[in-house]
Amino acid sequence: METGQVCYKIAGRDAGGCCVILEVIDKNYVTIDGETRRKKCNIKHLEPINVKIKADKNTSKEEILKLLEKQELIKIKKQKIIKNANSKTKSGKKS
């Protein structure tokens, strides 16, 4: 495992999420970020894939998510709220 390696979490609360290794702490632990929050993670909880990106411990979360989206590994869900004036009125209103 090395810096910039893209992985999937296979254990814990973030299982199934895509992440990037930002720093190798020792032989058992790395720092990750991506669809998960930035944190220390046991390498036994990661499944590496054959993709690497240019990222290190100084890379921001937004940049990491953009790089992962560019590689089509994740799709950021953008929610748009459309307010409809007609939905606020009640149809059964007495005159």
Of the pLDDT bands very low, low, confident and very high (cuts 50, 70, 90), residue 88 is low
pLDDT at 93 over 90: no
Question: Tens digits of per-residue pLDDT, 10-36?
Answer: 998 888 888 999 999 999 999 999 888
Beta bridge partners of 33: 20
Burial class (CB in 10 A: 0-12, 13-18, 19+), 60: exposed
Helices then strands, each counted (H, E), the chain: 2, 5
pLDDT at 77 over 50: no
Question: Tens digits of per-residue pLDDT, 53-71?
Answer: 998 889 888 888 888 888 8
Domain ranges of the chain: 5-70
5-70: CATH topology: SH3 type barrels. (2.30.30)
Q: What is the pTM of this model?
A: 0.73
Task: Give the Cβ contact number of residue 75 at 10 Å.
Answer: 8
Q: Are 37 and 70 in contact (CB under 8 A)?
A: no
